[in-house]
Amino acid sequence: MERTMLRRRALTAGTAALAVGALALAGLTGVASADPAGTTTTVRAEAPGTLPPGLIKALQRDLGLDAGEAAARTGNEYRAATIAAGLEKSLGASFAGARVSGDGAALTVATTDASEAARITGAGADAEVVGHSLDRLEAAKAALDEAARNATPKGVPSWYVDVRTNRVVVNAADTSAADTFLTAAGVSRSVVKVNRSGERPRALADLRGGDAYYMNGSGRCSIGFPVKRGTQNGFVTAGHCGRAGTTTNGVNQQAQGSFQASTFPGRDYAWVATNANWTPRALVNGYGRGDVTVAGSTEMLEGSSVCRSGSTTGWHCGTIQQRNTSVTYPEGTISPVTRTSVCAEPGDSGGSFISGSQAQGVTSGGSGNCSSGGTTYFQPVNAALQVYGLTLMTSGTPTDPPTDPTDPPTEPGGTWAAGTTYAAGATVTYGGAGYRCLQGHQAQAGWQPPNVPALWQRL
């Protein structure tokens, strides 16, 4: 019998119980499901809480939802993830994956055993009978991952388990590239779907300029989520942004900390320990739309909405397309990451992916941009927390970043203004001098033109 893989998909910390049935988002927060022995198992998880206005606006803009639909969708997605976790446990080896669809986040759970359909519908989900269990598909993907570790596949940008098609999807430049990869891995075509893809993913670190934090005074990336390790404060970010010992400066150009550990390629996560001037808060920067409070890190299902915060492009939203994806960058293969329809650009690397109030991961890489759209991958945050022994910050209030006490209390004058979005080539004045924008960005306090030569050139 195939082994049921519960470790990766197990729910993380939670405090309230949900019960199956017609559940409202507020008040009722429980799901019960029958285990194989016929007893009832209660899956516990945190309630999603109230969505901040900025997150609702981003969901409206990128997914075409009104405020009520955005709130309802995120609540339904959270409920679906909790129900699916209970069904995965009770279905055992016949579990074939779960997904949500539509603005209402309708839950579908797949099984290889038709006799389990009643159990699924009884838990409040649509049942689908398929040919391959999730364990079988993940075993095939694991074989592909092993082949990629031995030799980076050429012309194969990504591969993943697609629960919707009940196949392992291999995205490849052409059929021959896919065939070579499948042969090397010893994976049967019977469980694989090959898609032709011109995708050319790359890590999104931008070594040409400044961002929310600077590495060794030059390269830039985005903070993921504030964390603690014992009494030490810090944050998680992308592994390709720096190596152990790499020093960082914050958005205000003040000394911030250093990378304590970093993994890339293979995985794409790292953590930075910060000095006493920096206080971790359970917040994600809303870029003028209100900060988002982080309540937990429950992993959402395929089809769920997800939003990304990055200091190059701010807030953008989309949907989770596939979890447990492998992606090949020029530096090597990264796995597992989550594939999304959210756009991103260089400098967004390491930034936060969040669904409602639940932290999902840190931006790894992708293709395309936020003008024409693209595909982006994130490294699940729970993996980084576990590997490095970190605790996610899940409460806090907004604070301004530390400032240099010698800074003047007022701006010295000019047309530059925090909160303004500047395109490359734009010109401003500041402190009696003129500056030309070198890279498009949204200005923030501390990013005055003299402070960020990577963003502004003095005329």
CA separation for the pair 180, 404 (Å, rounded): 57
Of the candidates 132, 240, 316, 441, the residue annotated as catalytic is 240
pLDDT surpassing 80 at residue 209 = no
Q: Are strands 167-172 and 192-196 parallel, antiparallel or unpaired?
A: parallel
pTM listed for this prediction: 0.65
Q: Would you state the pLDDT for residue 436?
A: 85
Cα separations in angstroms, 149 against 22, 131, 145, 435? 46, 29, 6, 47
Of the candidates 268, 297, 316, 357, the residue annotated as catalytic is 268
Q: Would you state the pLDDT for residue 293?
A: 84
Catalytic (active site) residue 133: no
pLDDT surpassing 70 at residue 54 = yes
What's the DSSP call for residue 349?
T
Cα separations in angstroms, 298 against 17, 295, 454? 14, 9, 37
pLDDT surpassing 90 at residue 407 = no
pLDDT surpassing 70 at residue 426 = yes
φ/ψ (deg, to 5) at 323 = -90, 175
Q: Let me know if 268 is exposed, middle or buried by CB neighbors in 10 A (0-12, 13-18, 19+).
A: buried
pLDDT surpassing 60 at residue 403 = no
Q: What is the pLDDT of residues 228-284, one digit of tens each?
A: 999 898 999 999 999 999 999 887 777 888 999 999 999 999 999 988 888 888 888
For residue 422, name the pLDDT band (cuts at 50, 70, 90): confident
Catalytic (active site) residue 349: yes
Q: Which of 372-376, 413-417, 443-447 has the highest mean pLDDT?
A: 372-376
Q: Would you state the pLDDT for residue 447?
A: 66
Of the candidates 349, 352, 355, 367, the residue annotated as catalytic is 349
Domains of the chain (ranges; CATH) run 16-129 (3.30.300.50), 134-196 (3.30.300.50), 203-396 (2.40.10.10), 421-458 (no CATH)
